[in-house]
Chains A and B, each alone.
Chain A
Amino acid sequence: MKPITELVKDLADRHGRERRSLLPILQGVVEQEKYLSEFSMLTISRELNIPVTEVYGTATFYSFLECKKMGKYIIRICKTITCSMKGEKQILLAIEDMLKIKVGETTQDGKFTLLETNCLGFCHKAPAMLINNEVYTELTPEKIREILTSYLNDKIIGGEHVN
């Protein structure tokens, strides 16, 4: 894991130092750190010569650019209509039961954060969720236990992939 100053510099070398390079750089920092701290934003502000307030205003617009400390694995459950109809509530309960956290919270060991999100584009296989960048569909409480256990044991089951 690179220190932030080095990470930001590398990202800027790759994406550029213009205003339009901001989003890919923010994404790059979130990819490694899972969230954007004050220090990260100040570093990006200096590297790109963009006012730090603007960096903050831009980052907070996007749901996937969290500005609060996150766990190692961010679970995002879809709460839009079809997933809601197909059992999102039961899925939430199963997760809350297993990890002992509510929506918006992070487990004590810093491993999981539970969030809700909007339509993931898998409505025909609802309910669906993201864990970091992996998509899991056709969820049931049993499947949830299986998936989360795999994460706990660091032997992660893969999600939906391209054919």
Chain B
Amino acid sequence: MSTSHILKRADFIFKNENDWEEVLTKSLARTPNELINELISSELKGRGGAGFPTGLKWKLTSELKSDEKYVICNADEGEPGTFKDREILSRVPFKVLTAIAICGHVIGAKKGYIYLRGEYFFLQQELKKAISEFEFFCKEIKYDFKISIFMGSGAYICGEETALFESMEGKRGEPRNKPPYPTAYGYMGKPTVINNVETLSHTYTIFNYGSKRFYDLGVQFSRGTKLFSVSGDTPKPGIYELELGMSLTDFVEEFGDDDTKAVQVGGAAGFLVPRKKFAETSIGYEGKLVGISLPTGGSMMLFNSSRSMFNVLDNYLNFFAEESCGQCTPCRVGCQQLLKGIKAVKRGEKPAAYLDKLLSLAETMQLTAKCGLGQSVANSFSSIVENFREEMIY
């Protein structure tokens, strides 16, 4: 095990939240524009996986005129290998509630929701208690803002923002066409800010300590810290807050070992990076530091040499084929074709060259699917098939 500690740890998210009442009060005293500028200069990007600049999102929504606006916290954490949001909601819920309420002040919303996945039902009771206490305080400081929990019922796709709105509106969680975007047409067709749980926690940090503290960490294009959910073949499974911009080599130094064959970055919708590419891969958003950068929700799954990459891909494709909403052709049928296709190649029913047809199909899915789910299947499909082709055949 290396002792170089190249990975820079931080401790903002899970630091105690006893100052939440102060953070809320002092933020509410600032103007929306001030708060927006603070977020923009922090260069905070969405931590759910899509990486949209948070300050810009709040700005766009605040600029629209509407009788009703909403703040929604996306707690439908379902990406395989991700478990950080659960931890945030159980350990520091008041940071999230405070951030939601501050967002309400910024955009002009009086109502916030937490869309909580059905699998996290056991969190409800404690969360409701926290909300009760929170609303009581808001009443005391005469801030008119209410928060409710909306429970999911077992659908990964409801983590997609427009599918989430559809679900909250009592319908099937089928993603909508974009444009229009949620900032203009969100929940109930009204301007909505929808942010991941972790993103909101970071805004809390920024409003508490100022944007510079956040900006000074991380690297260009990937400022600040991120929670990483580490699991798989690792002696240190768990949640770690690290500065963005680390290389995978350093990551594996800390969390893997010489037997680490590959790392899945960003869940099933992310990329599989083989050992030979660890050095050229850094973890962050768009923009190059060292070789390729990967946008990520922070799921890091390590695989050692005993793992079959075929089984891994098979598992992912099964997942997508089941969780796809089924409305658009490339995703509904494409996922089935990819899944059955690799099985056919493995069994010798189709020639190895069929994998190239499947790679081409995956690219079409990326170009034509209606939402992020269908668009992302190609990420793991291509990275696994291209880097471990022999394992698909033999």
Contact = CB atoms under 8 A, between A and B. Distances in A.
Do A and B belong to a common assembly? Answer: yes
Interface of A: 18-24, 26-27, 30, 57-58, 61-65, 79-82, 84-85, 117-126, 130, 133-135, 159-163
B154 A85 contact: no
Contacts of B90: 162-163
Given A80-B315, A81-B315, A119-B78, A21 B170 contact: yes
Contacts of A125: 237
A123 B122 contact: no
B58 interface: no
A64 B154 CA distance: 5
B119 A80 contact: no
Nearest to A84: B315
B154 A19 contact: no
Contact of A58 (B123, B172, B229): B172
A137 to B, nearest CB: 10
Contacts of A134: 122
B233 A124 contact: no
20 contacts: A19-B169, A20-B170, A20-B188, A23-B153, A62-B154, A63-B154, A65-B153, A81-B81, A81-B264, A81-B315, A82-B80, A118-B322, A118-B323, A121-B77, A123-B81, A123-B82, A123-B229, A124-B238, A135-B122, A163-B91
A82 B268 CA distance: 11
B307 interface: yes
Nearest to B125: A162
Nearest to A54: B171
Given A18-B170, A81-B312, A124 B229 contact: yes
A62 B231 CA distance: 27
B263 interface: no
Given A80-B80, A133-B121, A162-B122, A123 B170 contact: no
Interface in B111-157: 117-123, 125-126, 150-156
Given A64-B153, A82-B80, 11 more contacts: A20-B170, A23-B167, A58-B170, A58-B172, A61-B173, A81-B264, A81-B315, A82-B81, A84-B315, A118-B80, A160-B122
A27 B126 contact: no
Interface residues of B, number: 58
A124 B80 contact: no
A80 B264 CA distance: 13
Q: Is the interface of B mostly helix, strand, loop or mixed?
A: mixed
Contacts of B264: 81
A79 B322 CA distance: 12
A62 B155 contact: yes
Nearest to A19: B170
B283 interface: no
Nearest to B171: A58
A79 to B, nearest CB: 8
Contact of B237 (A24, A123, A161): A123
B122 A121 contact: no
Nearest to A134: B122
A130 B153 CA distance: 13
Contacts of B80: 80-82, 118-119, 123
Interface string B161-183: 00000011111110000000000
B312 A159 contact: no
The 7 closest A-B pairs by CB, nearest first: A63-B154, A124-B237, A22-B170, A64-B154, A123-B231, A62-B153, A133-B121
A19 B170 CA distance: 5
A82 B155 contact: no
B168 A20 contact: yes
Interface in B206-240: 229-233, 237-239
A57 B172 contact: yes
Interface string B314-339: 01101100110100000000000000
Contacts of B82: 119, 121, 123
Nearest to B174: A61
Interface string B47-85: 000000000000000000000000000000111111101
A126 B150 CA distance: 27
Contacts of A163: 90-91
Contacts of B268: 80-81
Contacts of B229: 123-124
B91 A121 contact: no
B74 to A, nearest CB: 14
Contacts of A57: 172
B270 to A, nearest CB: 12
Contacts of B299: 123
Nearest to B168: A20
B132 to A, nearest CB: 15
Contact of B151 (A24, A118, A126): A24
